[in-house]
């Protein structure tokens, strides 16, 4: 075998929110279940990490159908945060995931500060959990259903409350549906978060012109997929240069090139979401592509490209 | 799940029920052009290779001893029932096939009809305009047939239905009325097709939802909550984002 055919060893490891990931590719919350459904297609051991479907204090049935609607280069979803609740997660889902050599990040949510706090508290110190990702884009039922993540004060209060309940690394998943994402990122930093997930879905809607009804039972839903990537890259870039927190970049990543775009913008790691639906092996294909690019371009450590977008 | 496009528009794969297996590397799907995906599919050139994920989900259960299968197809629901009839024929099981369509032009294509005939099926047709078979809905025809099914040495019917949701609900009601086993093949918009995204949810009687792609597509008819009044425990169905119009999941 000639020397040129030997793959040069590259270092794909990154550190984010105090966790060392063996590579920067994770799967995004809500798109990979709790891992088991994909295990037949994907070697979970190869992933940098899995961010599981959001967990709440009690089981949630979710919204009536239609829950999804395809859009150009994307899709709307209003699943309704269906999940089996924290007890089932701890008793069934987490033990399954612990068997794999991949970081497990638990996405959590609730409808009041108490909800969030209780979930965070119960997950604190549980072996096998690398970090918590806090979904702040939920309505606060104690405040008339106003969404936490689009109100700066509510966001700060929420993250401060969660911070008190856990010593696990805390990653705030921010909403892009705000005028100034940097302000929210700063609030997360001030509240003691260790990292940021950017971005959650864009708020969207579709209407059937024949029936004149919304396509989703919930009327509005979250837009994801390649269509939102430029928005996500922009927000990653804006936040990375203003706030000293490591970022997991996500929003329409399909190829290795997309992932590298996010890293150049300032993300230390990336999460693959909607792409999993069109190719269950998307995350591993992205990982392979990053590795190939590194070899081609002579990049020996992936962490060295973080934030290196060239703006003269 | 079939990828009909290599582009991002349309982005999602399309779910299809298998009509028959042709060889180790090809199977038969039969579809109507109803939207973007199926229209793209219909314009592909013969010989083109497509990416497919499958087989996914569960299948129809075989009838019990002493049961006679009654296959009920409406709209474009006949392909999986055609596949089922092949399985029955292999086991030398005779069956009845009830096919409903708007008019004779919307009946399954000849190769399917011939397939059913070859597979030991007695075919009963119903068209809404009466241009073929009995005039009316297929469920009306099935209802009549169930009523004339005597007891004694007649075998009990077991229903296998695939078609529009309203048809399935009507068949489910008939099955309940006549106390016969009924399997329905459900459909719902799908994204991942493998049970992870929770998109293809159908409501079940005991509250909550099941996934058509993974828990189905075949369900016992009595498991499904066909209407709100079917829910035995409606308060257990917690709504999330109806709390706030601008809330976003995950």
- Taking residues A119-137, what's their average pLDDT? 97
Average pLDDT, chain B: 91
- Chain A residues closer than 8 Å to B209 by CB: 61-62, 65, 82
Q: How many residues does chain B have?
A: 250
Q: Which residues contact A304 (CB under 8 A, 6 or more apart)?
A: none
Which segments of chain B does DSSP mark as H helices, in order?
Answer: 36-42, 78-90, 110-118, 138-147, 165-178
In the prediction, which pLDDT does B231 show? 78
Shortest alpha-carbon distance between residue A177 and chain B (Å) = 9
Question: Is residue A286 within 8 Å of residue A233, measured between CB atoms?
Answer: no
In the prediction, which pLDDT does B236 show? 44
- Residue B196 to residue A135, Cβ atoms within 8 A: no
- Residue B194 to residue A280, Cβ atoms within 8 A: yes
Q: Would residue A193 show up in a list of annotated catalytic residues for this protein?
A: no
Distance CA B159, CA B67 (A): 10
- Taking residues B212-228, what's their average pLDDT? 96
Q: Which residues contact B133 (CB under 8 A, 6 or more apart)?
A: B99, B124, B125, B126, B127, B141
In the prediction, which pLDDT does B155 show? 83
Closest residue on chain A to B11 (Cα): A73
In the prediction, which pLDDT does A24 show? 98
A301 reaches B (C-beta below 8 A) = no
In the prediction, which pLDDT does B150 show? 53
ipTM passes above 0.85? yes
Structure tokens at A188: 């997360």
In the prediction, which pLDDT does B239 show? 44
In the prediction, which pLDDT does A200 show? 97
- Residue A31 to residue B8, Cβ atoms within 8 A: no
Average pLDDT, chain A: 95
Shortest alpha-carbon distance between residue A297 and chain B (Å) = 27
Measure CB to CB from residue B201 to each of A67, A74, A276 and give the nearest one: A67
Distance CA B83, CA B89 (A): 10
Distance CA A23, CA B180 (A): 55
Structure tokens at A174: 């921010």
- Residue A81 to residue B240, Cβ atoms within 8 A: yes
pLDDT digits (tens, 9 = 90+) for B46-65: 999 999 999 999 999 999 99
Measure CB to CB from residue A78 to each of B12, B194, B241 and give the nearest one: B241
- Chain A residues closer than 8 Å to B195 by CB: 33, 37
Top pLDDT among A139 and A115 is at: A115
- Residue A64 to residue B201, Cβ atoms within 8 A: yes
- Taking residues A138-144, what's their average pLDDT? 86
A289 reaches B (C-beta below 8 A) = no
* Residue whose token pair is 């039922």: A141
Distance CA A299, CA A205 (A): 42
Candidates A195, A171, A216, A217; CA nearest to A29 is A171
Q: Which residues of B touch A (CB under 8 A)?
A: 3, 8-13, 53, 188-203, 207-209, 214, 236-250
Residue A133 has pLDDT above 50, yes or no: yes
pLDDT digits (tens, 9 = 90+) for A149-187: 999 999 999 999 999 999 999 999 999 999 999 999 999
Distance CA B170, CA B227 (A): 11
Candidates B163, B154, B161; CA nearest to B187 is B163
In the prediction, which pLDDT does A8 show? 56
- Chain B residues closer than 8 Å to A70 by CB: 10-12, 189
Shortest alpha-carbon distance between residue B105 and chain A (Å) = 24
A146 reaches B (C-beta below 8 A) = yes
3-state class of B85 per DSSP? helix
Top pLDDT among A272 and B232 is at: A272
- Chain A residues closer than 8 Å to B202 by CB: 65
Shortest alpha-carbon distance between residue B57 and chain A (Å) = 12
In the prediction, which pLDDT does B25 show? 84
Q: Which residues contact A245 (CB under 8 A, 6 or more apart)?
A: A17, A185, A188, A189, A193, A194, A195, A196, A239
Candidates A270, A265, A261; CA nearest to A293 is A261
- Residue A276 to residue B196, Cβ atoms within 8 A: yes
- Residue A201 to residue B248, Cβ atoms within 8 A: yes
Interface probe, candidates A63, A96, A173, chain B, greatest B C-beta count within 10 A: A63
- Which of A138, A162, A265, A286 is flagged as catalytic? A138
- 3-state SS string over chain A? CCHHHCCCCCECCEEECCEEECCCEEECCCCCCCCHHHCCCCCHHHCCEEEEEEECCCCECCCCCCCEEEECCEEEECCCCCECCHHHHHHHHHHHHHCCCCEEEEEECCCCHHHHHHHHHHHCCCCCCCEEEEECCCEEHHHCCEEHHHCHHHHHHHHHHHHHHCCCCEEEECCCCCCCHHHHHHHHHHCCCCEEEECCCEEEECEECCCCEECCCCCEEEEECHHHHHHHHHHHHHHHCCCCCCEEEECCCCCHHHHHHHHHHCCCEEEECCHHHHCCCHHHHHHHHHHHHHHHHCCCEHHHHCCCCCCC
pLDDT digits (tens, 9 = 90+) for B122-156: 999 999 999 999 999 999 999 999 988 654 446 89
In the prediction, which pLDDT does B238 show? 43
- Residue A220 to residue B240, Cβ atoms within 8 A: no
Closest residue on chain B to A52 (Cα): B250
pLDDT digits (tens, 9 = 90+) for A205-249: 999 999 999 999 999 999 999 999 999 999 999 999 999 999 999
- Taking residues A29-46, what's their average pLDDT? 96
In the prediction, which pLDDT does A18 show? 92
Q: CA Rg, chain B, in Å? A: 19
Q: A24-33, A255-264, B154-163: which range is least confident on average?
A: B154-163
Interface probe, candidates A67, A97, A105, A210, chain B, greatest B C-beta count within 10 A: A67
Residue A261 has pLDDT above 70, yes or no: yes
The percent of residues in chain B predicted with pLDDT above 90, rounded, is 84
Residue B249 has pLDDT above 50, yes or no: no
Structure tokens at A140: 């606060």
* Residue whose token pair is 């049961």: B67
Task: Give the pLDDT band of residue B81 (cuts 50, 70, 90).
Answer: very high
- Taking residues A16-28, what's their average pLDDT? 97
């Amino acid at each position: 075998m000639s020397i040129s055919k030997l793959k040069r060893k590259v270092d794909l490891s990154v550190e984010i929110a105090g966790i060392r990931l063996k590579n920067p590719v994770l799967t995004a919350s809500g798109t990979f279940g709790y891992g088991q459904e994909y295990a037949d297609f994907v070697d979970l051991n190869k992933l940098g990490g899995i961010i599981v479907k959001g967990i709440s204090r009690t089981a949630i049935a979710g919204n009536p159908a239609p829950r999804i609607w395809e859009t150009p280069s994307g899709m709307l979803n209003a699943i309704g945060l269906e999940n089996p609740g924290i007890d089932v997660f701890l008793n069934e889902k987490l033990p399954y995931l612990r068997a794999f050599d991949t970081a497990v990040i638990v996405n959590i949510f609730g409808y009041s500060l108490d909800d969030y706090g209780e979930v965070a508290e119960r997950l604190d110190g549980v072996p096998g959990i690398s970090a918590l990702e806090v979904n702040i884009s939920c309505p606060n039922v104690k405040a008339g259903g106003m969404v936490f993540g689009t109100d700066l004060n509510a966001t700060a209060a929420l993250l401060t409350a969660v911070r008190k309940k856990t010593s696990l690394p805390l990653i705030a998943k921010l909403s892009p549906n705000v005028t100034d994402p940097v302000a929210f990122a700063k609030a997360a930093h001030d509240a003691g978060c260790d990292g940021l997930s950017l971005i959650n879905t864009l708020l969207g809607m579709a209407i059937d012109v024949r029936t004149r009804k919304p396509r989703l039972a919930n009327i509005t839903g979250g837009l994801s997929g390649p269509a939102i990537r430029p928005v996500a890259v922009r927000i990653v870039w804006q936040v990375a240069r203003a706030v000293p927190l490591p970022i997991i970049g996500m929003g329409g990543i399909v190829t290795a090139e997309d992932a590298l775009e996010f890293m150049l913008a300032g993300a230390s790691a990336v999460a693959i979401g909607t792409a999993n639906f069109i190719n269950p092996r998307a995350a591993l294909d992205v990982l392979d592509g990053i590795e190939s690019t590194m070899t081609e371009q002579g990049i020996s450590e992936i962490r060295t490209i973080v934030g290196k977008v060239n703006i003269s | 799940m079939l990828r009909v496009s290599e582009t991002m528009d349309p982005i999602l794969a399309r779910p299809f029920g298998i009509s028959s297996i042709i060889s180790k590397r090809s199977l038969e799907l039969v579809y109507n052009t109803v939207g973007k995906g199926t229209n793209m599919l219909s314009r592909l050139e013969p010989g083109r290779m497509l990416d497919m994920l499958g087989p996914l989900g569960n299948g129809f259960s075989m009838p019990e001893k002493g049961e006679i299968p009654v296959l009920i197809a409406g709209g474009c629901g006949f392909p999986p029932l055609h596949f089922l009839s092949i399985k029955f024929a292999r086991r030398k099981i005779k069956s009845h096939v009830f096919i409903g369509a708007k008019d004779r032009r919307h009946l399954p294509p000849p190769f399917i009809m011939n397939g059913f005939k070859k597979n030991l099926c007695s075919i009963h047709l119903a068209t809404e305009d009466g241009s073929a078979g009995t005039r009316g809905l297929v469920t009306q025809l099935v209802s009549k047939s169930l009523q004339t099914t005597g007891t004694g040495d007649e075998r009990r019917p077991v229903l296998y239905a695939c078609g529009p949701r309203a048809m399935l609900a009507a068949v489910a009601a008939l099955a309940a009325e006549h106390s016969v086993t009924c399997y329905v093949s459900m459909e719902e918009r799908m994204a991942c097709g493998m049970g992870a995204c929770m998109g293809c949810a159908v409501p079940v009687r005991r509250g909550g939802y099941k996934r058509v792609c993974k828990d189905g597509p075949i369900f016992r008819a009595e498991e499904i909550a066909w209407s709100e009044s079917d829910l035995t425990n409606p308060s257990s169905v917690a709504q999330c984002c109806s709390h706030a119009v601008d809330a976003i999941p995950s």
